[in-house]
Amino acid sequence: MEQDREGEARGALFRALPTLLLPWYDQNKRDLPWRENTDPYRVLVSELMLQQTRVEAAREHYVRFLRALPTVEALAACPEDALFKLWEGLGYYSRARNLQRAARLICENGFPQTAEGLKRLPGVGEYTAGAVASIAFGAPAPAVDGNVVRVLSRYLGDALPAAQLRKAYAAALAPVYPAGRCGDFTQSLMELGATVCTPSSPLCLACPLLSLCRTKSDALPLPARKPERRHTEVTMLLFFAGENVALCRRPAGGVLAGMYAFYTEERALSAQAVEEALARAGAGGAKVGQGTAHRHVFSHIEWEITAYPVDCTGREAAVCAAFGVAFYPLGKVKAELSLPSAYRWALRLFKE
């Protein structure tokens, strides 16, 4: 009996959401470049960009990206180096690669218009599929990310870790999607989480859900224990000769797969060990500079880096053969090639 009453009360809380949120959204939504229209390609690009990047950081990149690649056909045909250059600063380059693979599939087969169809595109999971299906195609497809879970768990008073709530919320939201305003409803939930029901110090007095909210506080959801990051000692060798610096490509299948990089070993090497490796490679006598320490944090790994500049003037061929690198003018590396931020910081170690 008690359970029935709670089930009914929760149903009423879900049904109240569109009525409370949509008028608030109409008045308060931020002016964001991806809200100019609901073209599916533009929506897909924005959702992939926003997967691991904050709105403010994505904004400028989005405008630049769309200016350079205004259509799905342009993205499908873009050379990978140019694509990565456009993505530079956003990190998680696998998203750019997925976006291009998705664009090629869309060019071949057309744009999927349902969440189920969208989920078959590379890089498109449950949340992104719901967002694109509802915003671009007006489908009643919920998009429940961490933000939305936070809003709803506070609104409903659900004291459980976020991961346990996501599916249940998606199932409960689907039937209350308002016909004709599905995209706005998805965006109103996201907008509330981003601007009012923020992770700490929610602005409850400005919240359209205040009258029905069961907590009116930031106490929920319960924090999930984050998996520990793996620490890895990394040695980078910054080979240079005059104005040229040496790069290789990251190996397939690992972090930053296929991206430009300085020669990297996932172990700590002393300057002496580097000199010995150079001698074995037929590049003995190359000058190894002082190591510089730097930490780079990925989502699941932390690199403790020591980077050694190595002046290998006159020994370029031996270095290229032994370490699998190629030399490029420093100016070109800075201006044209996309070097991930795990490596880009080291450019300052080359003297102009």
What residues make contact with ligand SF4 under the rule CB under 6 A?
A: 151, 154-155, 196-197, 202, 204, 207, 209-210, 213, 215-217
For residue 280, the number of C-alpha atoms closer than 13 Å in the C-beta half-sphere is 8
Cα dihedral 310, 311, 317, 322 in deg (nearest 10): -10
> 241 near 311, Cβ under 8 Å?
yes
| Closer CB to ligand SF4, 3 or 211, in the complex | 211
Q: Which of 2, 8, 47, 336 is catalytic?
A: 47
> 295 near 305, Cβ under 8 Å?
yes
| Cα gap 105→246, rounded to integer Å | 35
Identify the sign of the CA torsion 324, 302, 58, 74.
positive
| Closer CB to ligand SF4, 47 or 158, in the complex | 158
CB of 183 to ligand SF4, least distance (A): 21
| Closer CB to ligand SF4, 24 or 350, in the complex | 24
| Cα gap 213→190, rounded to integer Å | 17
CB of 222 to ligand SF4, least distance (A): 15
| Closer CB to ligand SF4, 168 or 277, in the complex | 168
**What tokens does 332 get?**
């070109």
**What tokens does 324 get?**
């699998």
For residue 182, the number of C-alpha atoms closer than 13 Å in the C-beta half-sphere is 23
| Closer CB to ligand SF4, 117 or 157, in the complex | 157
> 66 near 78, Cβ under 8 Å?
no
Whole-angstrom Cα Rg for the chain? 25
CB of 188 to ligand SF4, least distance (A): 12
Q: Which residues neighbour 314 within 8 Å (Cβ) at sequence distance 6 or greater?
A: 241
CB of 212 to ligand SF4, least distance (A): 9
CB of 158 to ligand SF4, least distance (A): 12
Question: Letter for the amino acid at 257?
Answer: A
For residue 168, count other CB atoms closer than 10 A to its CB.
Answer: 16
CB of 333 to ligand SF4, least distance (A): 47
| Cα gap 228→262, rounded to integer Å | 27
| Closer CB to ligand SF4, 123 or 202, in the complex | 202
For residue 47, indicate whether it is catalytic.
yes
Residues annotated as catalytic are: 47
